[in-house]
Structure 1
Amino acid sequence: MVDSIPRATLTNWRRERGSPSLSDVHRSIPVTGKNWRRLVSFLGPGYLVAVGYMDPGNWATSLAGGARFGYALLFIALLSNVMAIVLQHLCARMAIATGRDLAQACRDAYPRMLSYPLWFLAEIAICATDLAEVIGTAIGLNLMFGLPLEIGVVITALDVFMILYLQNKGFRWIEAFIITLLGVIAVCFVVQIAMARPDWRDVISGFAPTTQLLTNPDMLYLALGIIGATVMPHNLYLHSGIVQTRDFGHTSAEKRQAMKYATIDSTIALMFALTINASILILAAAAFNQTGHTGVEELEKAHTLLAPLLGSAIAPTLFGIALLCCGMNSTVTATMAGQIVMEGFLDIRLPPWIRRLITRLVAIVPAVIVTVFYGESGTAKLLILSQVILGLQLPFAIIPLVMISASRRKMSELVAPKWLTVIAAFVAAIIVTLNVKVVVDLMIGN
């Protein structure tokens, strides 16, 4: 059924809106009450989005950045979080206004010769995301239970059963699972930072920009990795799909209210994600950089050093628990994002377990090869590389999002205001410029 979108708006799309992604949970959560009660009905999707901002790949880049450059990259964590808030608002606005997720909007707005490459690039981004989750979860299993990395990588394919169980229970169960694990992660880092006792004056100064970002290729490489690990392409597709699990109504007034509450939800969740991201970097700076261990990149090495450096045997245990929780959380959200991308771009509806196994196998093969031949150091480099790949894919998700949300013919009266479009375009320009700079540096051998 087509909602109350003006006919003139519909004629501007290359095809009319098809079936919604995640159709089994589409508009399955009622929106009831007024004011804060209504807001509570919208709380949840933002935390699923926030998971992508603190996944195992983020740990690798933040640990490497904090160990090597101290608190200097805290500015990048803050900048990327601001970017994320703007872009996730645009996702919610576009989805609520058009009834399409980002994948469907790209499919319906552009010819196939453009939408198919966008689909292919989105799949590459999801594979890179899944690769980071596979390695991170395997490392977490190794740290907690002593399982070899190769076995841990294979075991991660079995998490499809956990996802299927949660989906059968209902979407609110998935949100509750995610939020519970996020709470465990937060507690783990609060305790570890208390043990590390960072210099809070240096922490505050780390949120100010530094010119080294443009003059030091190594710092820029890690900065792009942090942006890629924070503003993730699959999150843009994910948010535009799961925000439609709320039955918010069809009138313009109801949609405006839905946009407001969805933005509050995602902003609160992303500020929580910033706290976790900053905590990882602060822990690395205080525990490793300040003690001369500037070469820490591997999660296993960080785990090993925490006990002697912080003087507590519980620190590495908390580190391992938090890492395992991150990997489990990311598993759920990456699966949903992959389903949204495939259904949205290609209108192909595969059972979730088949989709999950396909994406996991694509991630498992390179992970097994690297762990067998290169060991821990290879997995660390692969984690950071996966985040840089995500950063390079970002423009191909952000630019269509900005263009579609700025189109009055597609968005009708819910079109993004010009000031917001300008800010979003500026964000896209920053990311594209950083990408070009890193590619040039890599090509000339820097």
Structure 2
Amino acid sequence: MEERIRERSRLNDSQQENGAQTNRYSSISPPASPGAQEEPSSTYFEERVPIPESANQIFSFRKLWAFTGPGFLMSIAYLDPGNIESDLQSGAIAGFKLLWVLLGATIIGLLLQRLAARLGVVTGMHLAEVCNRQYPTVPRNILWLMVELAIIGSDMQEVIGCAIALNLLSVGRIPLWAGVLITITDTFVFLFLDKYGLRKLEAFFGFLITVMALSFGYEYVLVKPDQGELLKGMFLPSCADCGPVELEQAVGIVGAVIMPHNIYLHSALVKSREVDRKNKKEVKEANKYFFIESAIALFISFLINVFVVAVFAQAFYNKTNMEVNAECNATGSPHTDLFPLNNDTLEVDIYKGGVVLGCFFGPAALYIWAIGILAAGQSSTMTGTYSGQFVMEGFLNLSCSRFARVLLTRSIAIVPTLLVAIFKDAQHLTGMNDFLNVLQSILLPFALIPILTFTSLTSIMNDFANGL
């Protein structure tokens, strides 16, 4: 008995000694809630990508390739159907005048994504986990509910975007509600691709981004926008004669580009790389390569967004319903009734945008547009589901099976989406998407304040805390 007591005492002493050996470059204040874990079971990290050694200390393409992946998955949120709809409405309503807002929002988004990646690399925890440790119960729960609301709003746009794309590709044979159910099903299938390897999953997302770039790039080449007006709108911030509609569109652009849940997502995705957080040099190097990768990914997403704005600015700015009706009638389009016989300015959404492209530039333009929307919706639905899982795991310390987590997070967002799809048709969703884009802007502080706070605290970030 005495020997057993001595053995237990030695074990306790050993555990205390191990607990005291905290890592200087990953220290964080004690948990704010009991049961918080350093590395909870997560959906995405059953494997970690090793980083190769390199003789070149300044820059290595091999290392950049090893770090490439999380930034492109993050950039999907900058290309979701809500973004695409905001882009085409911006072009149709304000021409090239709001491109500078898109550019500014993307640059600010890059800075915020950099902070998110640094938090994940330095602490080994994503933003939701740090919120769980640092905030008391009431503000933590309010924060979680607000982020969930942002995820639901974004997911509604993404799933309905997929459903609209399927409706266009099937020439109306697949109704909106059926498209939503198809999207839910195939999202479940695609979400388990990471079982075949993390890099294969990232390659699949890269393929979807390529499809978007080719689809919307085709429309850009087809329409041939005025390059002088495009550059002027991008680099000369102004909005002459802008009314309430244009100002609402500008706010919608910011909300569509900088999504609150995407900051939570990116801070989690960077944990998929093998980085020794005890080694300050490795942490610094990881921050550098993640920033370069994010900049490349967001530059590509910015170009795709510009393609869409420019196409609708060049072809449909100041167009009236009467003009579009006449063109659709002349080409024998079955959708002529979408555009009433009046001289009101044309209003477009994802659905009408595809129809209008088909009327003016032929059926190929419509179908290629729909393929791009399908790729945007499918990819963003998957990353949105990952966001929901990370947020729920981090804030609530969930310890359930992966399938149960996917089912739970999917259900929270899908139920309201399905209701909208049942009671609305594809032609009457413009107001909902405008509202959801503005909602993202309103909810942005619930990601902005935590990420700025935590990355500025030396107690969390040590030598990597933000400067002035």
TM-score with structure 1 length normalisation?
0.88
Corresponding residue SS for 1:206: helix
Residues 60 and 143 (structure 1), Cα distance of their counterparts in 2 relative to 1, 3 Å cut:
same
Match for residue 232 of structure 1 among 240, 259, 264: 259
Q: 1:295 matched to which residue of 2?
A: 346
> What does residue 255 of structure 1 align with?
283
Deviation at 1:173, TM superposition (A): 1.3
Deviations 1:212-267 (A, max 9, x none): 59x63222222121111111111101100010100022211110000000111111
Instruction: Show the 5 A alignment for 1:177-326.
Output: 177-207=204-234, 208-211=236-239, 216-250=243-277, 251-289=279-317, 291-292=319-320, 294-310=345-361, 312-326=362-376
Q: Residues of 1 paired with 2:253 and 2:25: CA distance?
A: 43
Letter in 2 for 1:307: G
Structure whose CA Rg is larger: 2
By percentage of residues, which structure has more helix? Answer: 1
Q: Residue 75 of structure 2 corresponds to which residue in structure 1? A: 50
Aligned position for 2:96:
71
C-alpha distance in structure 1 between counterparts of 2:274 and 2:301, whole Å: 26
Identity across the alignment (%): 34
Offset at residue 377 of structure 1 (A): 4.0
Residue in 2 that maps onto 1:29 = 49
Aligned CA RMSD, in angstroms, stands at: 2.2
Higher mean displacement: 155-164 or 174-183: 155-164
2:402 aligned with 1:384:
no
Shift of 1:202: 0.9
Contact 1:90 1:405 in 2 (8 A): yes
Tell me the distance in 2 between the aligned counterparts of 1:32 and 1:8: 22
- After superposition, the Cα gap between the structure-2 partners of 1:17 and 1:414, relative to the gap in structure 1 and judged at 3 Å, is farther
Deviations 1:191-225 (A, max 9, x none): 11111111111111111212459x63222222121
CA–CA distance in structure 1, aligned partners of residues 53 and 405 of structure 2: 37
For 1:8 and 1:222, how far apart are their aligned partners in 2? 42
Query: What is the match of residue 28 of structure 2?
Result: 10
Map of 2:4 onto structure 1: none
Q: Distance in 2 between matches of 1:63 and 1:224?
A: 15
Q: CA deviation at 1:111?
A: 1.0
State whether residues 117 and 287 of structure 2, in contact with CA within 8 Å, keep that contact through their aligned partners in structure 1.
yes
Shift of 1:296: 2.8
Aligned match of 2:202 in 167, 175, 200? 175
**Structure 1 residue 10 displacement after superposition:** 3.3
Long gaps (5+) in structure 1: 419-446
What is the aligned length?
416
Rate the CA distance shift 1:154–1:129 in 2: closer, same or farther, 3 A.
Answer: same
Gaps of 5+ in 2: 1-17, 55-59, 322-344
Number of the residue aligned with 1:89: 114
**Partners of 2:265 and 2:390 within 8 A in 1:** yes
Contact 2:26 2:123 in 1 (8 A): no
Partners of 2:183 and 2:402 in 1: CA distance: 16
For residues 300-351 of structure 1, the C-alpha deviation after alignment (integer angstroms, 9 at most, x for no partner) is 21111112323x3311111000000111111221111111101111111343
- Which residue in 1 is equivalent to 2:126? 101
Task: Tell me whether 178-187 or 216-225 shows the greater mean CA deviation.
Answer: 216-225
Is 1:60 aligned with 2:68?
A: no
Q: Which residue of 1 aligns with 2:342?
A: none
Are the structure 2 counterparts of residues 13 and 404 from structure 1 closer, same or farther at C-alpha, using a change threshold of 3 Å? farther
The aligned residue for residue 333 of structure 2 is none
The aligned residue for residue 440 of structure 1 is none
SS at match of 1:22: coil
Q: What corresponds to 2:152 in structure 1?
A: 127
Q: Which moved more, 1:151-160 or 1:374-383?
A: 374-383
Residue of structure 1 equivalent to 2:12: none
Secondary structure of 1:306's aligned partner: helix
Partner amino acid for 1:110? Y
The one-letter code matched in structure 2 to 1:59 is I
Shift of 1:7: 9.3
Q: Residue in 1 aligned with 2:328?
A: none
Looking at structure 1, the residues matched to 42 and 255 of structure 2 have their Cα atoms a distance apart, in angstroms, of 26
* Change over 3 Å in CA distance of 1:21–1:8 after alignment to 2: closer
